[in-house]
Amino acid sequence: MSANRKGDRRERELVNQLDAAGFAVMRAPASGSATDRDLPDVLAGDDGRFYAIEAKSSSGDPIYLSGEEVEALIYFAQNFGAKARIAVRFDREDWYFFHPGDLYTTDGGNYRVKKETALADGTDFDELVGHSERTTLDDL
């Protein structure tokens, strides 16, 4: 399966999960190539929460995003009134979400998410949609 087909399938999976959680949601298919405008992969909202999401998946290798991708997401989210989120999914794992400012920045100005970072520090799906809240040892 090509990387694009797999990425499209994963984006549809995320849209379906958000829909099942009660969000109004839409996917911008081929957002990077279908238009000259920079659009996020997914827009979702419910009850005053709005997200502009750039979704990436990987078989296990670190996920990289260009500085331009992240800047375009932030710009769109600010203009739209949404929270910018980077969604990452590694094979055999769930979706994890990051605020762009929480991502590791490479020396070249790009962004990286490692699988270990996603599992340890990412916001999981239930927390994103408000079905759970993370508690750390510092909170106790």
- Asked if residue 54 belongs to a known ligand binding site, the reply is yes
- Asked if residue 41 belongs to a known ligand binding site, the reply is yes
Structural contact between residues 106 and 85, judged by C-beta atoms closer than 8 angstroms: no
Phi/psi of residue 3, nearest 5 degrees? -60, -40
- Considering all CA atoms of the chain, what is the largest pairwise distance in Å, rounded to the nearest integer? 48
- Asked if residue 13 belongs to a known ligand binding site, the reply is no
31 assigned to active site: yes
Q: How many Cβ atoms sit within 10 Å of the Cβ of residue 12?
A: 14
Cα distance between residue 126 and residue 110, in whole Å: 28
For residue 132, give both structure tokens.
């759970």
Residues annotated within the binding site for Mg(2+) are 11, 41, 54
Q: Return the active site residues.
A: 31
The annotation places the binding site at: 11, 41, 54
